[in-house]
Amino acid sequence: MDVVNRPQDPKALFERLEAEGLTCLVSRDGEWYRSREHGIRPLMTWLREDPVFCRGGMAADRVIGKAAAMLFVYGGIREVYAGVISELALAVFEKAGIAVEYGRLVPHIINRDHTGYCPMETLVADLDDPAEAYARLDEKVH
């Protein structure tokens, strides 16, 4: 159990994420979920293993689009810090009443090739229900 230097807020969690070279970091009840994978893959993996892995916890993520935001809401996250967040993702967190801080707000998340929008954000753009978003994303990435 990692109790020493436990971050007290999502910004401190993000600083730890950067220090460890991670892309996503979730802290809940003394448990840590760390990943260097990009996109929604770590969230999908953790949610498949334990659908409530982040309930009541804090998360820090380098980039959060609407797909990741919907997954965090689905998992029950309490607070989030994003290095970069899309307007669509911010709206998801605000609607769910989740405390969110961020470094930079952008209109949309761009795909890795910088040729268009993130395909996962586009896939859930028309959805409002986090459970439906999880099901759609699970079908696509599974």
- Region of 114 (left: φ > 0; alpha: ψ -120 to 50; beta: rest) is left
The residues facing 105 across adjacent strands are 85
Provide the 3-class DSSP secondary structure of residue 19: helix
pLDDT at 6: 57
Cα gap 61→83, rounded to integer Å: 7
User: Structure pTM?
Assistant: 0.92
pLDDT of residue 141: 81
Within 10 angstroms of residue 20's Cβ, the number of other Cβ atoms is: 11
Could you give all domains of the chain from N- to C-terminal order, each with its CATH number? 10-141 (3.40.140.30)
pLDDT tens, per residue, the chain with 142 residues? 333 455 678 888 999 999 999 999 999 988 899 999 999 999 999 999 999 899 999 999 999 999 999 999 999 999 999 999 999 999 999 999 999 999 999 999 998 898 999 999 999 999 999 999 999 999 988 7
The per-residue pLDDT for 2 is 39
Q: How far is CA 1 from CA 5, 27, 33, in A?
A: 12, 11, 12
